[in-house]
Structure 1
Amino acid sequence: MNAVRQSDASAIPALRTLAWAGFLLGFGMGGFFDGILLHQVLQWHHLLSLVPGEPFRDIKVQILADGLFHVLMYLIAAIGLWKLWKARRAAATGDRLLLASAAFGFGVWNIVDAVLFHWVLRIHHIRLDVNPLLWDLLWFVVFGLAFVALTWWLNRGEGPVGGGKSAAALVLAVLVGGPVAALPPRDTDTVMVFFKPGTTPNQVFAGIEAVDGRILWAAPTGDVWALDVRDKAKTALLYRHGAFLVSNSALALGCVKWTSAKL
């Protein structure tokens, strides 16, 4: 990279750390972008959408898989933030290198996602219902190859870019993008209720009655329910009737919508 070649040899280790920080932050943001936009907002797919077998039709498996995916992205982003902190002095003058590395990481995530998950393992596509290959290729080009090309363009330039504020912008993007994955949708009355093993039907229905809930969906096993509850203050009552988790996160609700459509 030009930024590295023009630097004093003693600064190369710090710049290498900075490059890794940018790559990991970009990679993590690629995962956040995928998870938030495609899993939750558009609800076009989930991580294991096309994995065959009855266990993978279980909403709990889908929620667990998407949850573990987000945890992995959080971990990668956290390592990126740690490396950025270690290279904070280099970041003051190496913002072009940092941005190029972040763009490369973002592009690499989308290339890996397309090649490995869409075409090799075939566990999901960008869209499952309309022209899967076309959408996979479009995503691969726009968010994969285009960002790798952006990396090349940034590396060809010289001098600072972004007014020396690239590090702050990346940190802000990660700190905002990560938590968004756990936020509930606005203006929703739907909650997901997970009941403990051994909870009787009488306990379940007593809990639903206690919160004045309306049943939207239930798993065949009877231990996961989607309820319409207008008064959220009442949801704590469900724990008295055998629930061990009550959630209105976008991740859980997106899985409900996707699973319900498949049944």
Structure 2
Amino acid sequence: MPARAMHQDTLHGGNLRPLAWAGGCIGFSLGGFFDGILLHQILQWHHLLSRVRSPVLENIRLQILADGLFHALMYVIAAVGIWKLWKSRALCALPRADRTLWGHALMGFGLWHLLDAVLSHWVLGLHRVRDAAEIPLLWDVGWLAVFGLLPLWFGWRARRGPPAGQGGADVPRPQDGSVPARSPGTPGRWLSAVLIVTGAALASVWPQAGRGGDVMVLFGPGVPAAAAMERLSAVDARVMWADRSGALWAVRLEDPAAARRLYGQGAWLVGDSRLRWGCLSWMGAGPST
């Protein structure tokens, strides 16, 4: 069957499965980002591998690296969802397309927290929701109920739609079987919002060379503290703080272009440090520099 005929058959049959997969992937990745940004970075209740007992993982640099790789995986899943949404954008004109998309997005969000609780918290023991809590299980169960089971339930209800006679009937189709003209509505707005958010996310991980000010600099393995200090001095960076390992530094850059030069001198990350004081209070005071 020609590709065009298959595409028309998909439209006529009302097959919304591609939109379901798109919403599920996007919701799943948003669940991961929500967990990683809120719990790993803002509240700092745990890292991805904070309960793994290993001398290697006592280094905060490797814990941050593990969190970064986790977020990279979420970007891949989000990209798959956005690609599927773009490929199936013609389906947004079908009845119930909006419910299918955001219903499965909610289910994907809840599924992430369900898998995280079962696998990461209880089976593998990588971390708990709040590692420092007296009864970590209570936090695990409460978090799963609010951010896992409730979104799953609401998503399941949304994708089913209202009962017949309450606004749930499909829009009548012409006799030739074609899809009636209809504004993309909510799915179209979803697509626009997702593309805007993704663009902003990608822009946020770009080297912060366009602006100076306070930044965090993370050097890779093999760069001792003395060498890191020399490289920071070479770009006229004013050191404000450093961790005990000498890998993570808070500095002030007068020249915005200096950020990119640090990448060529062994830096793994040069980023905005608006949240640095929360990070420093969690890790403890470093050596005075």
Normalising by the residue count of structure 1, what TM-score does the alignment of the two structures yield?
Answer: 0.78
**Distance in 2 between the 1:139 and 1:249 partners?**
29
* 2:126 corresponds to which of 104, 110, 123: 123
Separation (CA, whole Å) in 2 of partners of 1:35 and 1:248: 17
> Displacement of 1:102 after TM fit?
0.9
**Equivalent residues in 2 for 1:1-263, closer than 5 Å:** 11=12, 14-93=15-94, 94-130=97-133, 131-154=135-158, 155-157=160-162, 158=168, 164-169=185-190, 172-173=193-194, 175-176=196-197, 179-180=200-201, 183=204, 189-194=214-219, 197=222, 201=226, 203-210=227-234, 211-220=236-245, 222=246, 224-229=247-252, 231=254, 233=256, 235-236=258-259, 239=262, 242-249=265-272, 257=280, 260-261=283-284
The C-alpha deviation readout for 1:106-144, integer Å capped at 9, x for no partner, is 110011111111111111111122242222111100111
Quote the Cα distance in structure 1 between the aligned partners of 2:267 and 2:253: 20
Q: Residues 53 and 80 (structure 1 numbering): CA distance in 2 closer, same or farther, change over 3 Å?
A: same
**More divergent stretch after superposition (136-145 vs 126-135):** 126-135
Partner secondary structure for residue 219 of structure 2: strand
- C-alpha distance in 2 between matches for 1:41 and 1:181: 19
How many aligned positions are there? Answer: 252
3-state SS of the aligned residue for 2:16? helix
Summarize the Cα distance change of 1:36–1:213 in structure 2 as closer, same or farther, 3 Å threshold.
same
CA distance in 2: counterparts of 1:237 and 1:112, whole angstroms: 38
Q: Judge conservation of contact 2:219–2:228 (CA < 8 Å) in 1.
A: no
1:260 deviation in Å?
2.1
Unaligned runs of 5+ in 2: 1-8, 163-167, 171-183
| Greater Rg over alpha carbons, structure | 2
TM-score by length of 2: 0.71
The alpha-carbon deviation at position 179 of structure 1 amounts to 4.5
Question: Which whole-Å CA distance do the structure 2 matches of 1:196 and 1:92 have between them?
Answer: 52
What is the distance in 1 between the residues matched to 2:131 and 2:203? 24
Structure 1 letter corresponding to 2:139: W
CA distance in 2, matches of 1:177, 1:132: 33
Equivalent-residue separation in structure 2 for 1:26 and 1:181 (angstroms): 18
How far apart are 1:166 and its partner, in Å? 3.2
State the distance in 2 between where 1:241 and 1:153 align: 52
Q: CA deviation at 1:92?
A: 2.3
Provide the C-alpha distance between the structure 2 equivalents of 1:237 and 1:174, rounded to a whole number of angstroms. Answer: 27
Greater RCO (CA < 8 Å, at least 6 residues apart): 1
1:227 aligned partner, one-letter code? A
Give, in whole Å, the separation in 2 of the partners of 1:117 and 1:43: 17
- 2:24 and 2:38 map into 1 onto residues whose CA distance is 21
CA distance, structure 1, for counterparts of residue 128 and residue 20 of structure 2: 30
Q: 1:197: Cα distance to partner?
A: 2.9
Counterpart residue number, 1:5: none
Q: Report if aligned partners of 1:45, 1:126 keep a CA contact under 8 Å in 2.
A: yes
Q: Please give the alpha-carbon distance, in whole angstroms, between the structure 2 residues aligned to 1:77 and 1:34.
A: 15
Alpha-carbon offset, residue 192 of structure 1 = 1.7
1:150 & 1:25 partners in 2: Cα distance? 16
Matches of 1:170 and 1:237, distance apart in 2: 33
Report if the CA contact (8 A) 2:215-2:250 is conserved. yes
Give the 3 Å change call, closer, same or farther, for CA 247–170 of structure 1 in structure 2: same
Q: Distance in 2 between matches of 1:150 and 1:204?
A: 51
1:229–1:115 Cα change, 3 Å? same
SS at match of 1:52: coil
**Matched residue SS, 1:214:** strand
